[in-house]
């Protein structure tokens, strides 16, 4: 559809674009990224024929751009430049209708049914039909931007060139416009080339990305090939970190700020533990980074409080999430700042241990109900699990963990827990083999993210050794308490 071959050029004597080549196939969405002034708009002007390259060629459907007549080109390609906030004296409908100009034939051509359909469809897709008789000057910046996108869509060309199409839009309209463009690309084979400042949106919606730096191609490929921490940091001179999108296989980035955090208490200790009537909690003055398999706020996040709550063995509530949330509010915990677990064990009997280490210190808190313990290797033999009896384990670290250290910490803690069951000879009653855990165990690893940085937390590291020792010792003791209670 579009092929750019070794183009160079700029304004007057100033070269801006240096040897840029790429191709965009039919039904593909390309995003152009790069810092302010790197030449994104200039490149778009060259692709659209507004600016001639000093050398190199732009091909549309295999034919050099200058060989297409202006009208032919306007049917093949629509350009939406950066929207300026000028005064406009036309109505929304009149503005969108301008998009049909390339389809008008001859001097006496009349407005066809097809023209009308295209205009109405474009206004509907961009949610501006309700303003069709309003003058543009009475619209907000974002509303006006949607009108110009409608004008571009009304042109019904196969190639759409957009310069920052969503920069004035709120998140709902960003999503609406980009979902709509994505759908036109995927379902109707439209080809879109768009300049983006928002790297996350570009990653999410584009098939491929072209990252520019000072008029040159720095990277070109699928989002995962372009949005790489080091590469983005180099080009934008800003600290960032990439992470997974929750639903799509498209990398997302977070800006890492460089502001100074005011000095305050950043260590946690046993004094952060609070015991309530039916719970044990850990409450810090600042949020800790947490990875957990809790009932409430599971996964990775930043939380100030953790709670392990005793529920009756017959606790069987349909909407556990909602009930837990009500409970937290009732007990005075912030539901958005608290990780919550449940157990049938009396949390007053929780085992609490603190270990000093060269990196800082580590607190382990365990409750263990092992009446329903199972051998995980034979779990497939069971038809149903009784949801009673749970081992809840917390590992709270004064130190800074990488993401892989969090995962290794979870593994190390799980292995130590299983070893404790083995040492205490806890049996799976059905299979008559040594149990490895219970069907509903929960685990939380938290770190203050201050002090010493620890890349790994397996048993070869000091922090891993402490996690293993702490979880093993605390779990053994918790199982012994449980056994004594049961006698
Ligand atoms: N009409 C012009 N005449 C002369 N120089 C220009 C003109 N338009 C842009 N430039 C210069 O060309 C360079 C690239 O500008 P361009 O608008 O292509 O950058 P951009 O990557 O789109 O930037 P931004 O992210 O800020 O929109 C800049 O140094 C700019 O000052």
**pLDDT tens digit string along 150-167?**
988 888 888 999 999 888
The ipTM of this complex is: 0.97
Q: Please tell me the predicted confidence (pLDDT) of residue 108.
A: 56
Average pLDDT of span 277-296: 95
Residue 73 predicted with pLDDT over 70: yes
Place of tokens 């520019």: 212
Other beta carbons within 10 angstroms of residue 171's beta carbon come to: 9
Which positions ≥6 away from 269 have C-beta within 8 Å? 354, 361, 363
CATH number of the domain at 183, please: 3.40.50.300
Which positions ≥6 away from 309 have C-beta within 8 Å? 278, 279, 324, 327, 340, 341, 342, 343, 347
Q: Report yes or no: 75 and 102 within 8 Å, Cβ to Cβ.
A: yes
Residue 147 predicted with pLDDT over 70: yes
Cα–Cα nearest to 299, from 425, 403, 164: 403
Quick one: 450 and 345 in the same domain?
A: yes
* Band (84; pLDDT cuts 50, 70, 90): low
Place of tokens 């952060």: 272
Quick one: 205 and 242 in the same domain?
A: yes
Asked if residue 274 belongs to a domain, the reply is yes
Quick one: 151 and 226 in the same domain?
A: yes
Number of domains in the chain: 2
Assess whether the C-beta atom of 340 lies below 6 angstroms from ligand 1: no
Sign of CA dihedral 59, 65, 67, 70: positive
Asked if residue 261 belongs to a domain, the reply is no
- Indicate the residue among 255, 282, 310 that finishes a domain: 255
Assess whether the C-beta atom of 45 lies below 6 angstroms from ligand 1: no
Determine which residue's CA is closest to atom 16 belonging to ligand 1. 39
Q: Which atom of ligand 1 sits closest to the CA of residue 45?
A: 18
In what order do the strands lie in the sheet containing 29-33?
Answer: 77-80, 159-163, 191-195, 29-33, 208-213, 216-221
* Band (57; pLDDT cuts 50, 70, 90): very high
Ligand 1 centroid to Cα of residue 38, in Å, is: 7
Quick one: 217 and 335 in the same domain?
A: no
Q: What SS3 state is found at 125?
A: helix
Cα(222)–Cα(29) distance, integer angstroms: 11
Other beta carbons within 10 angstroms of residue 200's beta carbon come to: 17
Q: Please tell me the predicted confidence (pLDDT) of residue 105.
A: 67
Asked if residue 264 belongs to a domain, the reply is no
Cα(57)–Cα(63) distance, integer angstroms: 10
Cα(393)–Cα(364) distance, integer angstroms: 7
Ligand 1 pocket: which of 11, 48, 52, 196 to mutate (most atoms <8 Å of CB)? 11
Quick one: 9 and 67 in the same domain?
A: yes
Quick one: 476 and 365 in the same domain?
A: yes
Asked if residue 265 belongs to a domain, the reply is no
Ligand 1 pocket: which of 37, 45, 167 to mutate (most atoms <8 Å of CB)? 37
Least confident piece of the model among 115-119, 275-279, 387-391: 387-391
Q: Please tell me the predicted confidence (pLDDT) of residue 427.
A: 95
Cross-strand pairs, 401 = 454
Quick one: 340 and 241 in the same domain?
A: no
Quick one: 251 and 303 in the same domain?
A: no
Quick one: 296 and 244 in the same domain?
A: no
- The strand ranges marked E within 101-202 are 159-163, 191-195
Average pLDDT of span 93-118: 79
Ligand 1 pocket: which of 38, 168, 198, 236 to mutate (most atoms <8 Å of CB)? 38
Q: Which atom of ligand 1 sits closest to the CA of residue 34?
A: 21
Ligand 1 centroid to Cα of residue 80, in Å, is: 16
Question: Would the pTM of this model clear 0.90, i.e. be above it?
Answer: no
Quick one: 290 and 246 in the same domain?
A: no
Asked if residue 262 belongs to a domain, the reply is no
Asked if residue 263 belongs to a domain, the reply is no
Cα–Cα nearest to 74, from 133, 159, 179, 198: 159
Cα(466)–Cα(397) distance, integer angstroms: 10
Determine which residue's CA is closest to atom 1 belonging to ligand 1. 11
Cα(434)–Cα(374) distance, integer angstroms: 8
Other beta carbons within 10 angstroms of residue 10's beta carbon come to: 17
Least confident piece of the model among 69-73, 308-312, 371-375: 69-73
Least confident piece of the model among 168-182, 259-273, 406-420, 437-451: 259-273
Average pLDDT of span 294-302: 95
Asked if residue 260 belongs to a domain, the reply is no
DSSP string, 195-242: E-S-HHHHHHH-SEEEEEETTEEEEEESHHHH--HHHHHHHHTS-EEE
Asked if residue 144 belongs to a domain, the reply is yes
Ligand 1 centroid to Cα of residue 208, in Å, is: 23
Helices 141-154 and 171-188: angle between axes, nearest 10 degrees: 10
* Band (45; pLDDT cuts 50, 70, 90): very high
- Indicate the residue among 202, 229, 255 that finishes a domain: 255
Percentage with pLDDT > 90 across the chain: 68
- Indicate the residue among 195, 220, 255 that finishes a domain: 255
DSSP string, 331-365: HT--TTSEEEEEESS-GGG-EEEEEEETTEEEEEE
Quick one: 286 and 238 in the same domain?
A: no
Cα(388)–Cα(169) distance, integer angstroms: 51
First to last CA, the chain: 78
Assess whether the C-beta atom of 236 lies below 6 angstroms from ligand 1: no
Determine which residue's CA is closest to atom 31 belonging to ligand 1. 37
Cross-strand pairs, 476 = none
Assess whether the C-beta atom of 39 lies below 6 angstroms from ligand 1: yes
* Band (262; pLDDT cuts 50, 70, 90): low
Quick one: 81 and 22 in the same domain?
A: yes
- Structural domain including 31 reads 2-255
Place of tokens 């708009």: 41
């Amino acid at each position: 559809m579009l092929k750019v071959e070794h183009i160079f050029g700029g304004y007057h004597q100033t070269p801006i674009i240096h040897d840029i080549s790429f191709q965009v196939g039919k039904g593909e969405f390309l995003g152009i990224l790069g810092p302010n002034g790197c030449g994104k708009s200039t490149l778009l002007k060259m692709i659209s024929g507004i600016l001639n390259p000093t050398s190199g060629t732009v091909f549309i459907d295999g034919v050099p751009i200058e060989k297409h007549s202006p009208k032919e080109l306007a049917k093949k390609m629509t350009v939406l430049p950066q929207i300026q906030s000028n005064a406009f004296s036309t109505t929304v409908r009149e503005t969108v209708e301008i998009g049909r100009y390339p389809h008008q034939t001859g001097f006496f051509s009349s407005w066809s049914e097809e023209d009308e359909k295209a205009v109405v469809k474009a206004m509907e897709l961009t949610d501006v039909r309700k303003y069709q008789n309003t003058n543009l000057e009475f619209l907000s910046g974002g509303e006006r931007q949607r009108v110009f996108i409608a004008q571009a869509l009304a042109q019904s060309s196969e190639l759409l060139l957009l310069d920052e199409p969503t920069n004035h839009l709120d998140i709902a309209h960003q999503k609406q416009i980009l979902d709509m463009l994505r759908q036109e690309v995927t379902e109707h084979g439209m080809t879109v080339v768009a300049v983006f400042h928002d790297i996350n949106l570009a990653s999410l919606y584009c098939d491929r990305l072209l990252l520019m730096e000072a008029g040159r191609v720095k990277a070109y490929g699928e989002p995962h090939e372009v949005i790489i921490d080091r590469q983005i940091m180099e080009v934008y001179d800003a600290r960032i970190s990439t992470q997974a999108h929750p639903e799509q296989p498209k990398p997302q980035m977070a800006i890492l700020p460089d502001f100074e955090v005011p000095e305050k208490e950043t260590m946690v200790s046993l004094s952060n533990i609070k015991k309530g009537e039916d719970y044990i909690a850990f409450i810090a003055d600042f949020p800790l980074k947490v990875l957990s398999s809790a009932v409430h706020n599971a996964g990775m996040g930043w939380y100030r409080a953790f709670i392990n709550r005793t529920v009756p063995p017959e606790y069987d509530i349909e909407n556990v999430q909602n009930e837990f949330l009500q409970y937290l509010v009732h007990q005075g915990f912030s539901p958005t700042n608290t990780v919550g677990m449940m157990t049938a064990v009396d949390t007053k009997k929780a085992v609490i241990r603190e270990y000093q280490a060269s990196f800082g210190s580590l607190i382990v808190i365990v409750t263990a109900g092992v009446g329903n313990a199972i051998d995980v290797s034979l779990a497939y033999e069971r038809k149903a699990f009784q949801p009673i009896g749970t081992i809840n384990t917390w590992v709270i670290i004064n130190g800074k963990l990488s993401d892989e250290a969090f995962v290794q910490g979870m593994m190390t803690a799980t292995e130590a827990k299983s070893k404790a069951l083995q040492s205490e000879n806890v049996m799976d009653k059905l299979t008559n083999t040594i149990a490895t855990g219970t069907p509903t165990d929960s685990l939380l690893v938290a770190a203050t993210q201050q002090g010493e940085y620890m890349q790994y937390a397996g048993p070869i590291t000091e922090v891993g050794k402490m996690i293993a020792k702490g979880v093993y010792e605390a779990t053994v003791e918790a199982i012994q308490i449980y056994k004594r209670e049961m006698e």
